[in-house]
Amino acid sequence: MKVLISADMEGVCGVTSWVQVTPPEYGGGPSSTVEYERARSRLTREVNAAVEGALAAGAEEVIVNDSHNGMRNLVPEELHPAVRFITGSEKELGMVQGVHVAGFGAVFFVGYHAKAGTPAAPLAHTWTGYVSDVRLDGVSTGEFGMNAVVAGHFGVPVTLVTGDDKAVAQVQALLGDAVVGVVVKEGYSTFSALHLHPQRAQALIREGAQRAVGGGFASGALDPTAASRSSSTIRRGPTAACTYQA
Ligand SMILES: [Zn+2]
């Protein structure tokens, strides 16, 4: 089967600041550029770890969809040579672009963060700082829930989530404990966390991805039609904590 990796950035090991995940054209200054470049390299390594695990478990192909702000964060030259990858914004299916193509058996969420308003969750938000909540069929959720519904519409289950402890817990609470979770950091606040060493995080992601390829996964607990019954709550202005897309 084929695996689609939806790669966000706030949930990457070592990340606790917008400075680290803001491409220079969106407001990063010279000092932040160095941190951003390091973080996008770590993002790429975490994606590679997931690719290695998937291939080791027998996946026939892995496609990576860059899903973070501007969606041009992966470092192409550093990606695993076996993958194809999707970059750029204005994609019909956004963070799960490509999932409509026949043959996908699993979606991985890599580098994911918690929903807006989650306490002690690094860079928690939902799409932008203007959205304080999104409900699908009455259930409060985040980007992960919206993306899971879209994937579920095409019959593809989410089988792996990596990120901070709150993000992993929220995805498993929504989709079930069968979703393999890899916690790379424990959040202390919106802007602080206790991290694994990046190499340790990548090793755990590799192992988790291996377990996440195989049978036994349903296409998610969420009813895909719930998207048509969704609602969102919009703030009147951005918060200092969250002003960035996805
Ligand atoms: Zn993001």
Q: How far is CA 113 from CA 2, 83, 100, 127, in A?
A: 24, 24, 24, 11
Side-chain-side CA neighbours of 51 within 13 Å: the count stands at 21
- DSSP letter assigned to residue 114: P
Q: At 129, list the tokens.
A: 């700082």
Report helix, strand or coil for 102. Answer: coil
Which amino acid makes up residue 71?
M
Ligand 1 geometric centre to CA of 111 (Å): 8
What's the pLDDT tens digit per position in 133-158?
A: 999 989 999 999 999 999 999 999 99
Measured in Å, residue 190 CA sits from the centre of ligand 1 at: 14
Cα(150) to ligand 1 centroid in Å equals 18
Active site residues per annotation: 125
Could you read off the pLDDT of 157-189 as tens digits, one per residue?
999 999 999 999 999 999 999 999 999 999 999
Residue with structure tokens 């695996």?
Answer: 3
pLDDT given at position 129: 82
Cα-to-centroid distance, 70 and ligand 1 (Å) = 9
Class of residue 147 by CB neighbours under 10 A (exposed 0-12, middle 13-18, buried 19+)? buried
For residue 216, the CA-to-ligand 1 centroid distance in Å is 29
What separation in Å is there between the alpha carbon of 208 and the centre of ligand 1?
A: 21
In order along its 246 residues, the chain shows pLDDT tens digits of: 999 999 999 999 999 999 999 988 877 666 688 999 999 999 999 999 999 999 999 999 999 999 999 999 999 999 999 999 999 999 999 999 999 999 999 999 999 999 999 999 999 999 988 899 999 989 999 999 999 999 999 999 999 999 999 999 999 999 999 999 999 999 999 999 999 999 999 999 999 999 999 755 654 545 555 555 666 666 544 443 333 456
Q: Which domains does the chain have, with CATH numbers?
A: 2-234 (3.40.50.10780)
Q: Which one, of 17, 26, 85, 28, lies nearest residue 51 by Cα?
A: 85
Residue 110 backbone phi and psi in degrees, to 5? -115, 135
- Greatest Cα pair distance, the chain, in angstroms, is 48
List the beta strands (DSSP E) in 96-210: 104-112, 131-136, 139-141, 158-164, 180-189, 192-195
